[in-house]
Structure 1
Amino acid sequence: MMKVQGMWGLCLVLLVIMFVYAVIGEAQIASFLINCGTNSTVNVDGRRWVGDSNPGNNVTLSSPSIEASTATFNGDSFYSPLYKTARIFSDSLNYTIQGTPGNYFLRLHLYPFSFEKYNVNDSSFAVEANGLTLVSEFNVPGEILHKNTYLQNSGGNSSLSFLLKEFFFTTNANSIVLEFHPTKGSFGFINAIEIVPVDDKLFVDSVNKVGGNGGNSSLNLGRRGVETMYRLNVGGALIKPAQDLDLRRVWEVDSSYMITADAGSGIRNSSNITYASPNDTSVAPLLVYETARTMSNTQVMEKRFNMSWKFEVDPDFDYLVRLHFCELVYDRANQRTFRIYINNRTAANNFDIFVRAGGMNKAYHQDYFDMVSSDISTLWIQLGPDTTTSAAETDALLNGLEIFKLSRNGNLAHLRPYGNLGEHKTSKGVIFWLGIGAGVASVVVLTAVVIMIVCFCKKRRNKQNDTKENLPGWRSLFLLGAATNSTANAKASTENQNPYGSVATVRSRRRFTLADIRSATNNFDEGLVIGVGGFGKVFKGEIEGGTLAAIKRANPQSQQGLAEFETEIEMLSKLRHRHLVSMIGFCDEQNEMILVYEYMANGTLRSHLFGSDLPPLSWKQRLDVCIGAARGLHYLHTGSERGIIHRDVKTTNILLDEDFVAKMADFGLSKTGPSLEHTHVSTAVKGSFGYLDPEYFRRQQLTEKSDVYSFGVVLFEVVCARAVINPSLPKDQINLAEWAMRWQRQRSLETIIDPQLQGNYSPESFMRFGEIAEKCLADEGKSRPTMGEVLWHLEYVLQVHEAWLHGNAGENSFSSSQALRTLADRQAEAQEVAISNVEACSEPKVKKDGEYTPGTDKSDALVVGVDEFSQLVKPQGR
């Protein structure tokens, strides 16, 4: 009997111990949910939020401050019941919350509404948590306006009316002290405070460093604070706090942050997903891993380009980037491998989710550490296929993305220039937007814009009627100094040329009247249309003296317009070269934008490759055309101090005259090259899909090597005589560059050669040609040759082919070495002529890299200005 009683007693003791531990554990994991500015309690997302002035809330306020309330909430939020009250303070205010040492998420809920004499547009304050500075001189309406502007510019939602600021920090104390300090002469406010305990395993201190060649960096989070900048459910819908039960996080939709939304398409898998590691259960809810975004197969079908997300971040901070992955499609390794880029640097090569996660449907995450300098305010995340691997699928996949800012010296605050806060007080636009909503404001702005446009048009029409003159529809062209008003001036300009072909002034293009153009084109007769491009239609016309001309008329609905029109005139007014199409003049009357060029009798290179009934070009003709185009591009890159980057190299922009001499055309997208102290030109991506340099697309950094990549695609197009993008072909053949590169790497390019060339080319010259094209399409620009080197090799290929033709004709056959010597002799002679001409003009300018580059014969270059010229190479053995 005593034994039974003893056993019951022991069981009772064990139950008591378990109960105590359960209570302690519950206390440790309890969240602190504070509804500010009231003593009322509200239930939101299934949780109980206690008023900060409620006696039983375990919260101590240092001063009562002011309790404010509003009857309405203008916006859409699952937290809206919390945004109808706020605590306003004009003196320092402390919240002391009794807790336990550990890791916490702190969320500050901020919804600006005006209350009595307090105008929220004038608010400015700082917040600290246990000595960690979270924000400083913080203006909530200004921050909301800034974020809306950024989202609107990114094509996303622009109607946010509240802020949710989330921070992570570690404390060794038994209490959490939040200090709110208004800026002198101002005030601050807070609507709700949320403090959620976090598992120790959410973050690890050692993570991969971007660009660190596999090295790790220690985050030392025990002594640093963290701010959540972005948290995205990639490829899926918004995840609400109630759907993230562990930590009650909000996961945004990612589409607003994508550079090109069509670059990635969403996929979903309803299979049972499990965590790759049992320690990862709090990292993200499984909902994040059930959806993903993979590279799209849209109209462009360009699989080499990356999925890209762009984020605005605070400069001069360290960042932790967390990427969430789950392979939803493939059930074995080496089926999907890709590269990861962060801020244009490689974070990971040959990334295989299946291998890293340990199988299919396994939730896995990878952290990366990167430092953002003081002159950078954006962070790019990009995923793209790794074409150097043998994976079956050249694709990429991402399920979720988080970006965390790490504190420096106990500070997470970034002082954003909101402007003069006093201006907010009188800014009816901001107050109106806050009180009434973005919709009404949009109507007002739209109405004002319409009125301005109507008034402008009326004023302009009256001015034209008064002067009785056909003034141009735009005036900025004259700032370029790129044109003249009369034929006489053009003749004078021609007379000022120096004996070596340099033009003394850029004012050398004739302005045609609209009547001249209508007469030349029979009033834009559709029967005279010889081509249609991105700018508009091209007409065959006959100008004074019976000279044939190509007349390009801008289409008002075209994506190209004034900028391209001005660029074309500016560029071609400075350039003169045998392998560049010459511009005769332009017309800018009555809102027309028309360019007049020399007529190219044999049209585009593409028309002689496929898609027409024209006879096919021989291998020698194709080599001659490629050499001519390369000479034109080489002149662009080296003919002036900074050089010019064409930016739209393709077979439709390589034109052929009556003698099949190739000339580069269409300079509307061209850019002046970088200055000596820079390596690239930062600019928005423009060009034609299929020809576009993936590195330029990824980094938005334009270099001469971007033209080299496009020219490499042209070389493969010349070989295969097919479109660079053809969606009707099997999947592995859609993109010409990828398809041809696979055969070239196997040294079997002849397998896909144009049937019209079979047996009519030198095998050695063809092999060399394929090698040049392969080098041009290197993934990294630094690995590609210059256009001068491409030109040199193409001329060598031509010599090899001509030697082969001589041999087949029964003449003395040439060896490759003889062909090389023939090429060297010809280039040396051209160089001597060029050098003598240059010495007669002025002291030469050495190209910025200090190297000689191959060039052309003396008839090629008619360079603008006495100090601009193309350099020639000293032939050397290779």
Structure 2
Amino acid sequence: MGKESIMKILGNFLVIICVVRRTEGDEAMSFLIICGRNSSAMVDGRWWNGDTAPGNNNFTLSSPGIAASTATFDGDSIYAPLYKTARIFAETSNYTLIGTQANGSYFLRLHFYPFFVGNYLVNESSFDVVADGHSLVSQFNPVIEISRRNSNSSMLVKEFFLTINSNVIVVEFSPSKDSFVFVNAIELVPVLHTLFVDSVTKVGGNAPITSLNKCGIETMYRLNVGGPVVKGGQDSGLWRSWEMDSKYMITANAGAAMQNRSAMDYSSANASLFAPLLVYETARSMSNAEVLDRRFNMSWKFEVDPGFNYLIRLHFCELEYEKPNQRVFNIYINNRTAADNFDIVARAGGKNKPHHQDFFDPVSARVNTLWIQLGPDTEAGAAITDALLNGLEIFKLSHNGNLASVSGKSSLNQKDSRSKSSIILMASMASVSILAVASVAFYCVFKLRERKRKDLKKSASVAILDVNANEKRSAGKNQIRKCSISASRHGKAFTLSEIRAATNDFDESLVIGVGGFGKVYKGEIEGGTLTAIKRANPQSEQGLREFETEIEMLSKLRHRHLVAMIGFCDEKNEMILVYEYMANGTLRSHLFGSTLPPLSWENRLEICIGAARGLHYLHTGTERGIIHRDVKSTNILLDENFVAKMSDFGLSKTGPAFDHTHVSTAVKGSFGYLDPEYFRRQQLTEKSDVYSFGVVLFEVVCARAVINPTLSKGQINLAEWALRWQSQRSLETIIDPHLKGKCCSDSLQMFGNIAEKCLADEGKTRPTMGEILWHLEYVQQLQEDWVRANEEFDRENLPSGRTSRSLGESGSREGKEPSSSDEESLCIDPEMKAVKETAVKVSEK
């Protein structure tokens, strides 16, 4: 028998020992509960008890609620007993688990697999959970969380690490007002070793966090880097699941997967139960030509809850080199150096020896992302300028017993580039009958155009079908948004008298927009709800065609950064659509040509990111994608919280079929934003939207019209004029004067690079909207870091009344490139300089 086989047997033996220890006495008891079931079942090698099964002496249920079940399950069949039943509570209820070890540590896992149950629509479930004095979730909706996790699985497991204070733990579920609780299974597993140390040093500082093992902790992410999914039964008796890391990587080819070629030394006390052998056997390293040319870091980006402290645990095991100083690298967390000269062999004591390293980092209330980057230490003198990582865990730490973050509370918690997975989730829940109705409606729109008004009614009804419960959140509100128009999940069919009342009989003073279709009115419906009411002009053939297209597109779309349709009116030859009202109007109105106050650089970046998310969803959220074809600043609307939403889909086209590269169509769009390649070839692609978006980016930073015939010949066309300055790397010379001295030079430089690449002559060389979105988010991160650094500098160094921003503004020099001293004054934090330079190289590439 080979040495490797022996080591694997020993690893399995450790698992057996751990399981046996958990059966020796009450202090090692596990609680495995299937909710809504009256019998026991074997799941993944463990016996689970139904919550109403006879003979349950170790837990009690305070109220029966409603036992729910489903006949279908789209996951791994071995987990079907867990997820085919659920318990629903319409009032506060709890499970009391009896026999826990006082001051013992446990993993508490709550399992969710949302399915439709009678009148209970799981996408409207919202509730709080409290356990052992810790608030675990607040106004929690499993559907939204599943969408947020960007997972192809319809299952969700929320995992918490708790130190139990007594021999009893109460897990209390409290529904939000007019809502209910939905839970499939509860799992409480003892942890018989010290998983978390008492003190971890903060990234970038010396102040450690103490008593970590006593904190309430939520597992946010657990990744097997470079390897496959590791299921619960494969993990050291703690039944942790490790997902693949690839979907969190910023640049997929920056790290190549690798696997060990010799036996592992799994004897280290530092590693035996921190991660399973399977995690340490695989890794990612920077083994490709571009990386070795020092152009990339290996980078992972995660969405986290703002305003919490986080513990980042990195797992290492050197699989190739045997001596110290052969692979030395740096570790960055949120753009700050967490460790330099990091040498796995030196720290672990040799090759094939597992080691883990913990880092503590707070995330401010203004940030919802956490970045982890590994890159070569080019000054360490190592033989290999490379980096390696085997596993990664991110844990959220409680604040005074609070771990709760409301699912839909802010735009920070929304990652709309993930909405494609949300559609997959909801599609798996939808019934065949709904799909049939949708198919009939689309057929009517396409094939029976002479019956326009009847088709409008059907399509509008389909349009409000909630295909993505994740997008039912409102920015800045700590609750799940419910349709106030109708208790039905379909669009409201308004009568013409209701529309006339809402618009004061189409009062011209309420007109807020005019287009080829007709006019848009500001209106009030049902209890004073503000809406935008679009009334088609029956004499405009163009308007009717655009109206049909708008209905067709909105039948497929539902997204936070797309203006939503509320209902319709099809009566007395009128064709009217009712949309959500956008209180702050168009983006253009806030840039120039009005008396509105100028937007800050931070506001402009957030708006650009929101619009990019909406366009990214259009391009990727359906099978063939949708090309907007009229991207411009007047079609980017802003709600009361300045959340950007794309509007006006009258010119939109479904993208090319799978075996085609473009859509052949007559040229349409707006002068100044029109893709010249599309104009020449009459071949429409998603990159035509990218070109138009690039014009919008220059419009945002320069705050002027895209076409201004009153200017000199070289300045009439904004895109051409701005590109000339950008090519000289002098964009700061022509930016909006209101931005002078108020934006970081690094963020402005990268922003200009993005816009320049969007306006490339050939569509194939332009970036995708997904790539644009990533770079814009990084521009935003650079700006936020600069603002924080300047605020700290002001507090520590400047006299009262003076700020580094005012110094930067007075020191600006139009028409000249910033000097190195200017750059240092703009970006104070020297630790970030190398990371920023690397990021700029990536964007330029």
Partners of 1:302 and 1:445 in 2: how far apart?
A: 55
Partners of 2:68 and 2:781 in 1: how far apart?
A: 57
Name the CA shift for 1:128/1:445 in 2 (closer, same or farther; >3 Å).
farther
Q: Which residue of 2 aligns with 1:231?
A: 222
Q: Which residue of 2 aligns with 1:62?
A: 62
Does the CA contact (< 8 Å) of 1:202 and 1:280 recur in 2?
no
SS in 1 for 2:24: helix
Q: What amino acid is aligned across from residue 808 of structure 2 in structure 1? A: K
Alignment partner of 1:181 is 2:174: yes
Does the CA contact (< 8 Å) of 1:572 and 1:583 recur in 2?
no
Does the CA contact (< 8 Å) of 1:319 and 1:405 recur in 2?
yes
Q: What amino acid is aligned across from residue 40 of structure 2 in structure 1? A: T
Alignment partner of 1:161 is 2:154: yes
Alignment partner of 1:561 is 2:691: yes
> What does the per-residue CA deviation read over 1:141-175, in whole Å, with 9 as the maximum and x for residues that have no partner?
2322343xxx2xxxxx4x33221110000013112
Name the CA shift for 1:439/1:197 in 2 (closer, same or farther; >3 Å).
farther
Does the CA contact (< 8 Å) of 1:74 and 1:437 recur in 2?
no
> What does the per-residue CA deviation read over 1:67-114, in whole Å, with 9 as the maximum and x for residues that have no partner?
222222234575222111112222222212222221000111112223
Q: What amino acid is aligned across from residue 92 of structure 2 in structure 1? A: S
The partner residue of 1:848 within 768, 793, 808 is 808
Q: Which residue of 2 aligns with 1:5?
A: none
Q: What amino acid is aligned across from residue 434 of structure 1 in structure 2? A: M
Partners of 1:439 and 1:276 in 2: how far apart?
A: 57
The partner residue of 1:320 within 294, 311, 318 is 311
% same residue: 47
Q: TM-score, normalised by structure 2?
A: 0.54
Q: Could you tell me how far 1:677 is from its partner in structure 2?
A: 8.8
Q: Which moved more, 1:24-33 or 1:342-351?
A: 24-33
Q: Could you tell me how far 1:680 is from its partner in structure 2?
A: 4.0
The partner residue of 2:742 within 666, 675, 684 is 675
Q: Which residue of 1 aligns with 2:560?
A: none
> What does the per-residue CA deviation read over 1:626-671, in whole Å, with 9 as the maximum and x for residues that have no partner?
xxx99x958654576769xxxxxxxxxxxxxxxxxxxxxxxxxxxx
SS in 1 for 2:27: helix
Does the CA contact (< 8 Å) of 1:554 and 1:594 recur in 2?
no
Q: What amino acid is aligned across from residue 563 of structure 1 in structure 2? A: F
Q: Which residue of 1 aligns with 2:485?
A: none
Does the CA contact (< 8 Å) of 1:638 and 1:847 recur in 2?
no
Q: What amino acid is aligned across from residue 409 of structure 1 in structure 2? A: N
Structure 2 segments unaligned to the other structure (5+ residues): 1-19, 411-421, 457-515, 519-539, 546-585, 594-674, 706-711, 758-766, 768-773, 784-788, 791-804, 820-845
Q: Which residue of 2 aligns with 1:834?
A: none
Q: Could you tell me how far 1:48 is from its partner in structure 2?
A: 0.8
Q: Could you tell me how far 1:275 is from its partner in structure 2?
A: 3.7
Name the CA shift for 1:132/1:449 in 2 (closer, same or farther; >3 Å).
farther
Question: 1:88-237 residue pairs with structure 2 within 5 A?
Answer: 88-97=88-97, 98-101=99-102, 102-147=104-149, 151=150, 157=151, 159-212=152-205, 215=206, 217-237=208-228
SS in 1 for 2:240: coil
Q: Which residue of 2 aligns with 1:496?
A: none
Name the CA shift for 1:677/1:571 in 2 (closer, same or farther; >3 Å).
closer
Does the CA contact (< 8 Å) of 2:254 and 2:297 recur in 1?
yes
Question: 1:653-732 residue pairs with structure 2 within 5 A?
Answer: 675=742, 680-681=747-748, 686=754, 700-701=778-779
Aligned residues: 537
Q: What amino acid is aligned across from residue 101 of structure 2 in structure 1? A: T
Q: What amino acid is aligned across from residue 176 of structure 1 in structure 2? A: I
Q: Which residue of 1 aligns with 2:83?
A: 83
> What does the per-residue CA deviation read over 1:268-291, in whole Å, with 9 as the maximum and x for residues that have no partner?
114222247314311000100111
Name the CA shift for 1:697/1:399 in 2 (closer, same or farther; >3 Å).
farther
Partners of 2:441 and 2:75 in 1: how far apart?
A: 22
Q: What amino acid is aligned across from residue 93 of structure 1 in structure 2? A: S
Q: Could you tell me how far 1:462 is from its partner in structure 2?
A: 6.5
Q: What amino acid is aligned across from residue 31 of structure 2 in structure 1? A: F
Partners of 2:322 and 2:433 in 1: how far apart?
A: 48
> What does the per-residue CA deviation read over 1:552-611, in whole Å, with 9 as the maximum and x for residues that have no partner?
999966686223356679999999xxxxxx9748899xxxx999999xxxxxxxxxxxxx
Q: Could you tell me how far 1:310 is from its partner in structure 2?
A: 1.0
SS in 1 for 2:145: helix
Does the CA contact (< 8 Å) of 1:554 and 1:561 recur in 2?
no
SS in 2 for 1:267: strand
Partners of 1:256 and 1:448 in 2: how far apart?
A: 36
Alignment partner of 1:434 is 2:452: no
Alignment partner of 1:351 is 2:366: no
Partners of 1:441 and 1:385 in 2: how far apart?
A: 55
Q: What amino acid is aligned across from residue 53 of structure 2 in structure 1? A: N
Partners of 1:348 and 1:449 in 2: how far apart?
A: 62
Name the CA shift for 1:52/1:164 in 2 (closer, same or farther; >3 Å).
same
Name the CA shift for 1:308/1:439 in 2 (closer, same or farther; >3 Å).
farther
Question: 1:242-391 residue pairs with structure 2 within 5 A?
Answer: 242-275=233-266, 277-297=268-288, 302-391=293-382
SS in 2 for 1:178: strand
Name the CA shift for 1:90/1:432 in 2 (closer, same or farther; >3 Å).
same
Q: What amino acid is aligned across from residue 210 of structure 1 in structure 2? A: V
Does the CA contact (< 8 Å) of 1:344 and 1:699 recur in 2?
no
Name the CA shift for 1:145/1:477 in 2 (closer, same or farther; >3 Å).
closer
SS in 2 for 1:280: coil
Q: What amino acid is aligned across from residue 89 of structure 2 in structure 1? A: F
Name the CA shift for 1:702/1:99 in 2 (closer, same or farther; >3 Å).
closer
SS in 1 for 2:158: strand
Q: What amino acid is aligned across from residue 50 of structure 1 in structure 2? A: N
Q: Could you tell me how far 1:429 is from its partner in structure 2?
A: 11
Alignment partner of 1:394 is 2:524: no
Partners of 1:306 and 1:439 in 2: how far apart?
A: 46
SS in 2 for 1:287: helix
Partners of 2:337 and 2:106 in 1: how far apart?
A: 32
Does the CA contact (< 8 Å) of 2:741 and 2:809 recur in 1?
no
Alignment partner of 1:51 is 2:118: no
Q: Could you tell me how far 1:64 is from its partner in structure 2?
A: 2.7
Name the CA shift for 1:254/1:186 in 2 (closer, same or farther; >3 Å).
same
> What does the per-residue CA deviation read over 1:668-707, in whole Å, with 9 as the maximum and x for residues that have no partner?
xxxx77626998458597488xxx9xxx9899248999xx
Q: What amino acid is aligned across from residue 127 of structure 2 in structure 1? A: F
Does the CA contact (< 8 Å) of 2:312 and 2:393 recur in 1?
yes
The partner residue of 1:416 within 404, 407, 423 is 407
Partners of 2:60 and 2:127 in 1: how far apart?
A: 20
Partners of 1:446 and 1:298 in 2: how far apart?
A: 52
Q: What amino acid is aligned across from residue 675 of structure 1 in structure 2? A: K
Q: What amino acid is aligned across from residue 193 of structure 2 in structure 1? A: D
> What does the per-residue CA deviation read over 1:736-784, in whole Å, with 9 as the maximum and x for residues that have no partner?
xxxxxxxxxxxxxxxxxxxxxxxxxxxxxxxxxxxxxxxxxxxxx99xx
> What does the per-residue CA deviation read over 1:451-507, in whole Å, with 9 as the maximum and x for residues that have no partner?
69x999x999965999xxxxxxxxx9999899xxxxxxxxxxxxxxxxxxxxxxxxx
Q: What amino acid is aligned across from residue 691 of structure 2 in structure 1? A: G
Q: Could you tell me how far 1:379 is from its partner in structure 2?
A: 0.9
Partners of 1:125 and 1:571 in 2: how far apart?
A: 43
SS in 2 for 1:79: helix
SS in 2 for 1:28: helix
